[in-house]
Structure formats: C-alpha cells, structure tokens
Amino acid sequence: MKIDPLLEEAFHAAGVMTLLGAAVAGFYWLLTGLSPWPFVILCEIAAFGFGIVLLALAAPKRYR
C-alpha cells in the first residue's frame, strides 16, 4: 500500500516539530531553571499545526 507523498511529508513534519518543541522546552528549562509549563509548552502546541503545514508544503515534491 502506497501512502500519498503529501501525507508522508506531513508525518515527517510532525516528527520534526515534535523534536523541535522538545528541544526548545528542554533548552528553556536548562537555561532558565524554570519549568516550561504552561507558557512555552502551550505556545508550542498552538504553533504545532502551523509548523506541520509549512514544513509539509515547503518540502520538495517527490512523485512515485
């Protein structure tokens, strides 16, 4: 079963956004010593969907 290339790119973008969000929250916690909850985490959740759309649509097109 073949997956639509745009859907595949959306899955990759979701993984990248998850790793980026975890890295930002981790660096915030390490650098400030404050918990990133609720401000940083809630802002990341709000930006998650927008980031997935941008990454998936900006990815190079691959046709199979």
* pLDDT, tens only, 7-64: 888 888 889 889 999 999 999 999 999 998 888 888 888 888 888 888 877 877 765 5
For 14, the token pair is 């979701």
Q: Most distant CA pair in the chain: distance in Å?
A: 48
What is the pLDDT, as a whole number, of residue 51?
83
User: Is-contact 52 2, C-beta < 8 A?
Assistant: no
Please say if the pLDDT value at position 6 is more than 80.
Answer: no
What is the pLDDT, as a whole number, of residue 22?
93
Rounded to two decimals, the pTM is: 0.75
The span from the CA of 5 to the CA of 2, in Å, is 9
What is the pLDDT, as a whole number, of residue 24?
92
Domain boundaries, given as residue ranges, for the chain? 5-58
